[in-house]
Amino acid sequence: MAAYLVSQVFGWDVVPPTWLRDGPMGEGMVQLWQEQDPAQSAVNLVATGHVPETGWKHVLEGRDEDGRMVALVHEDSPALRRMAVFDMVVNNADRKGDHILAMTDGHRHGVDHGLTFHRDHKLRTVLWGWLGDALTAEEREGIDRVSEGLHGGLGRNLADLLSAEEIASLAARCARLRLAGRFPAPSGEMSAVPWPLF
């Protein structure tokens, strides 16, 4: 639920509409089902040497189950860049390829945000293709909206869902990202990508 609230303040519709509801096991969240386009894929594995030259970002190389060299790639689109910024802010530790829903109209929804908002750095994502790139004006403005929202309605709403320490860490991530003005590099000793990748 907290991820949806932050997504709303960003204004980018990353997380589909989400609500808190009472269920047979207590309170939980429900999310509006999104019918993705099976002909589109925002993240893919391709044979090394077959990485498209335009429209895609190369993330890493490895071996598939048959020992062949493959490359992890993701599309180079504004929608996916916004999702990557969102993930940095919420500290998403589990952005797998299958957690990105490719919609028919080109929009991209992010789902499965159960491993977010940790106070310690936990960012693990398949969306590393913009490493070192400068944030756009739109991306900086989105981060500013979240930072400002933490002092108002967003902060009050998150207080019911997150600890004070988690909210303070969220604010600190916004400030660091805004100050750096660019996509960060992976840091720490833990893997920079989730496993499995999809």
- Dist. CA 56–CA 73, nearest whole Å: 6
pLDDT tens, 156-198?
A: 999 999 999 999 999 999 999 999 999 999 988 889 999 999 9
The amino acid at residue 179 is: L
Above pLDDT 70, what percent of the chain?
100
pLDDT tens, 63-100?
A: 999 999 999 999 999 999 999 999 999 999 999 999 99
Is the model's pTM score more than 0.85? yes
Q: Is 125 helix (H, G, I), strand (E, B) or coil?
A: strand
Give the pLDDT mean for 54-63.
Answer: 97
Above pLDDT 90, what percent of the chain?
96
Check if the beta carbon of residue 181 is closer than 8 Å to that of residue 134: yes
Determine if the peptide bond prior to 16 is cis (ω within 30°).
Answer: no
Inform me whether the pLDDT recorded for 142 exceeds 90.
yes
